[in-house]
Structure 1
Amino acid sequence: MPTNSSPFAEAKIPEQKSHGGVIFPAVLTPAAAAAALTAAVKEQRPWLDSLLHKHGAILFRGFDSIATASDFNDVVEAFGYEELPYVGGAAPRTNVVGRVFTANESPPDQKIPFHHEMAQVPKYPTKLFFFCETEPVSGGETPIVPSHVVYERMKEKHPEFVDKLEKHGVIYTRVLGEEDDPSSPIGRGWKSTFMTADKAVAEERAAKLNMKVEWTEDGAKTIMGPIPAIKEDETRQQRKTWFNSMVAAYTGWEDKRNDPKKAVIFGSGEPLPDHIIYDCLRILEEESVAIPWRKGDVLLIDNLAVLHARKPFTPPRRILASLCK
């Protein structure tokens, strides 16, 4: 609990759920009207770290001091987490200021399926920040779901499938154009994916990610894996998490270059069973929490513990993001 003099008050909202007696997500509002979020974070960092570890996600709501991308950048800096460069990710993004980027810029009518950020590469963020600069006219929520809950339900319902995943892992394949394609949710071109226009440098950076690159006439094919699809969370009593982008790849990695059914397979080379992937999607949606964005909201997610997604929306909507090691 925060101290009596804390700048934070814990709040309840209708969308929250309880998993094993733990409310998800935690919601913090200002204890006093003039409370500034950046100063409050600096004052309460150890407590906020423990709260995030317990709940998996924290929504900061009602802090009038956060209105711009620069304000959001100050909040991210106040937490003191090290920045993670966005190397190897699939989403088209634009740097706004400092450590702040746009969230996935794919068209508003497209749903982005559940995933752990950059779970398809070895170096992924442990923390994600989202900030609502412009709230959508309708829709556009960022649904979140505790990963261990998904693992437990899948293990109970599809034990043989989960055993196979734990044994073999998965392989992700993505075909990239040369430049970014903003019409695609996975439209990041190879130049921005590897942050270079030099193919030799791109190959070196891919190798550091244990990623194979095959050059095509108009782009590149990247192959990642076999890579684990289940992780053991050592900081939370060894509990297992559904740490992958399997459903996102199988149901959402589709554009003029990519067939989602070929985007992810078992590490043994076998295709994934269609009906089980769609059952997993149903479980993800059942267990998820989708809180409508309000201007000024800041959402902090433990990427090791929580998957996220995006619902289609009526623009305008501007959500900014920051990734941390």
Structure 2
Amino acid sequence: MVASSEAFVEIEVPQQKVYDGVRFPAVVAPSAPTTVSLTECIKANREYLDTLIRERGAVLFRGFPLQNPSDFNNVVESFGWEEFPYHGGAAPRTNVIGRVFTANESPPEQNIHFHHEMALYPEYPGKLFFYCDVAPEKGGETPIVLSHVVYDRMKEKHPEFIERIEKLGLSYTRYTQEEDDPTPIGRGWKSTFATNDKKVAEERAAKLNIKLEWLENGMVKETIGPVPGVKYVDSRQKSIWFNHSMGWDDPKKPVMFTDGESLPLDAAKDALRMLEEESVDLPWQKGDVLLIDNLAVLHGRRACNTPRRVLAALVK
């Protein structure tokens, strides 16, 4: 037992990491066996929770009586934050109820690389909620990493690389078909931009800092950028590793500096290794809610071969 409010007790779980004497992420449970809703607990303890998420970057709520997506939607709404619409994102998702969507719908046996949600776009959510509706028997975790820790390690080992990212930023290229496909970034351009009209898609893409090039095979080439790659967060007074790591270790993947130069493979591989070394993989339990500060923490998905259903919500 580490800290508490009237309704919550901060508990320890084996998978947590300790940075500067503080456990990451925070894990909170009911202070006593209770049937009181998490929604009511949140409303009565907002100051405590706001401090906790600001200081830790992520909070896992465990052991509360959440049974279904409607309960989760009530939890999201109880914080009072404005909804962030999922426009332009590459992952296939489906609305479930209210502000709740499926998490990435790609087959569960596929890993999803570490990323900040929608980090490639001018606007991105401030916080993310995840809810475990069906817990996998093995695997399927949503690994999380403190982004400033990765930045600090990369700055120490590859200072010139970090300096180039800070100076130039990054450019990403991806190829998208018309309709969705079952891959982690397989959302088709029609659903990505919510239109069947190519002209409208171009206009909406431009607002997201995306340039579209229509190809003869029916696909579209999306060039995204420049995007920062790293970012200084005033509210935290820290620099963070702020990007999407998919394709960093593959020279054939189109992630590069904005001057057209490829990323140095040794630095890119070190970044991916550090993300793995610093990650926390908390096995999901039915009813868990994970709240993530999108400017402090990267997340991903571990593969699994058993039933798994994790739902999500994005807020500004």
Do they superpose with TM above 0.5? yes
Report the CA distance shift for 1:229/1:178 in structure 2 as closer, same or farther (over 3 A): same
Q: Aligned to 1:121, what secondary structure does the other structure show?
A: coil
TM-superposed CA distance for 1:261, in Å, is: 3.1
Taking the aligned partners of 1:291 and 1:14, their CA distance within structure 2 comes to: 9
Which residue of structure 2 aligns with residue 303 of structure 1?
294
Q: Note if contact 1:7-1:35 (Cα within 8 Å) is conserved in structure 2.
A: no
Q: Is residue 2:298 matched to residue 1:312?
A: no
Q: Which residue of 2 aligns with 1:98?
A: 98
Distance 2:312 2:254 in 1: 25
| Letter of the 1:79 counterpart | F
Please give the alpha-carbon distance, in whole angstroms, between the structure 2 residues aligned to 1:72 and 1:127.
15
1:151-190 superposed matches below 5 A: 151-182=151-182, 184-190=183-189
Normalising by structure 1, we get a TM-score of: 0.93
Counterpart-to-counterpart distance in 1, 2:67 and 2:251: 38
2-structure distance, mates of 1:179, 1:120 = 21
2:152, 2:127 → 1: CA distance?
23
* Partner-residue secondary structure (3-state), 1:129: strand
Give the C-alpha shift of residue 241 in structure 1: 0.2
Letter in 2 for 1:70: S
Q: CA deviation at 1:22?
A: 2.2
Report the Cα offset of residue 45 of structure 1.
Answer: 1.6
> 1: distance between equivalents of 2:85 and 2:36?
31
Report matched runs for 1:51-90 at 5 Å.
Answer: 51-64=52-65, 66-90=66-90
Q: What is the match of residue 227 of structure 1?
A: 227
- How many angstroms does 1:274 deviate by? 1.9
Aligned-pair CA distance for 1:95:
1.0
What is the CA distance between 1:260 and its match in structure 2?
A: 7.4
Change (3 A) 1:78 1:249: farther
User: Within 2, Cα distance between the matches of 1:208 and 1:158?
Assistant: 33
Contact map agreement 1:132 1:294 (CA 8 A) in 2: yes
* Cα distance change, pair 25–242 in 1 and its aligned pair in 2 (3 A): same
Deviation of the 1:167 alpha carbon:
0.7
Q: Are 1:126 and 1:304, in contact at CA under 8 Å, matched by a contact in 2?
A: yes
Alpha carbons 2:102, 2:310 under 8 Å: kept: yes
The one-letter amino acid of 1:8's match is F
Task: Confirm or deny: 8 A CA contact 1:25 1:57 kept in the other structure.
Answer: yes
Deviations 1:192-215 (A, max 9, x none): 111122222211111111211111
AA matched with 1:188 = R
Tell me, yes or no, if the aligned pair for 2:248 and 2:269 is still in contact at 8 Å: no
Identity value in percent: 61
Provide the residue aligned with 1:261 in structure 2: 252
- Residue pairs, 1:185-196, within 5 angstroms: 185-196=184-195
Provide the C-alpha distance between the structure 1 equivalents of 2:240 and 2:190, rounded to a whole number of angstroms: 32
Which segment is superposed worse, 204-213 or 124-133?
204-213
Matches within 5 A, 1:1-325: 2-3=4-5, 6-32=6-32, 33-64=34-65, 66-182=66-182, 184-217=183-216, 218-236=218-236, 238-245=237-244, 247-250=245-248, 261-325=252-316
Alpha-carbon separation, structure 2, partners of 1:300 and 1:241: 19
Tell me by how many angstroms 1:21 deviates.
Answer: 2.2
Show CA shifts across 1:35-63 (max 9, x none): 31011111112221111000000000000
CA distance in 1, matches of 2:136, 2:227: 36
> Residue 100 of structure 1: CA displacement?
0.7
SS of residue paired to 1:275:
helix
Q: Is the 8 A contact 1:173 1:223 kept in 2?
A: yes
Alpha-carbon shift at residue 111 of structure 1 (Å): 0.9
**Are the counterparts in 2 of residues 139 and 292 from structure 1 also a CA contact under 8 Å?**
yes
What TM-score do the two structures reach when normalised by structure 2?
A: 0.95
Q: CA deviation at 1:2?
A: 4.3
Q: Does structure 1 retain, via aligned residues, the 8 Å contact 2:147–2:242?
A: yes
How far 1:176 sits from its partner (Å)? 0.8
**Contact 2:165–2:257 (CA<8 Å) still a contact in 1?**
yes
Q: Which runs of 5+ in 2 are unaligned?
A: none
Contact 2:69–2:133 (CA under 8 A) maintained in structure 1: yes
Q: Which residue of 2 aligns with 1:254?
A: none
Judged with a 3 Å threshold, the aligned counterparts in structure 2 of structure 1 residues 102 and 194 are, in CA distance, closer, same or farther, namely same
| Separation in structure 1 between the aligned mates of residue 92 and residue 171 of structure 2, nearest angstrom | 22
Q: Is the 8 A contact 1:132 1:320 kept in 2?
A: yes
SS at match of 1:230: strand
Aligned counterparts of 2:186 and 2:45: Cα–Cα separation in 1: 39
Please give the alpha-carbon distance, in whole angstroms, between the structure 1 residues aligned to 2:211 and 2:116: 21
